[in-house]
Amino acid sequence: MTKVSLPTKFWQGRALEEFDKAEWESLCDGCGRCCLVKLEDEDTSQIHFTNLACHLFDAKTCGCKDYPQRGTLVEDCIALTPDIVRSLSWLPPTCAYRLIAEGKDLAWWHPLVSGDPDSVHKAGVSVRGRVAASETDIPLEDYIDYIVKWPAKPPRKAKAKR
């Protein structure tokens, strides 16, 4: 991976459409919450997170095992765009794309703010250590047993200012 030097706080005061590819990709904090399997209630359309991860998700690194090919290899993998970010109600409240779309700043633990790629893990925002299994390890009819609430909430530790 090539490291790209970006201007300090380049995200402030800008719309999602204004970011170039490197800036856009750097907004992802690497939490892995969007890579968790989500279930939609057919009656209410409510989205429920599970602690099951996409089969391409590496639970140790909180990254995709084949990021360039994810859209081809995972039928329901969603490539985020400004319009898609604004339309997804299930994006975690900690998600940088969501925060910027809402006119908010990034949290203290975001790697772009802290300068530390592990700060997202240290703050308890990432899914590291919280993934029960890969989606391919569990029968589809058992997914409901893995519904969890924490991915839709910011962790207490992450709320505290440093």
What tens digit of pLDDT does each residue of 50-96 get?
999 999 999 999 999 999 999 889 989 999 999 999 999 999 999 99
What pTM value is reported for the model? 0.89
Tell me how far apart the alpha carbons of residues 105 and 101 are, in angstroms, rounded to a whole number.
Answer: 10
**Could you report the per-residue pLDDT of 110-141, keeping only the tens digit for each?**
999 999 999 999 999 999 999 999 999 999 99
pLDDT of 162 strictly over 60? no
**Other Cβ atoms closer than 10 A to 145:** 11
**51: three-class secondary structure by DSSP:** strand
- In the numeric block, the tokens 């006119």 are attached to 103
**112: three-class secondary structure by DSSP:** helix
Tell me how far apart the alpha carbons of residues 123 and 46 are, in angstroms, rounded to a whole number.
Answer: 27
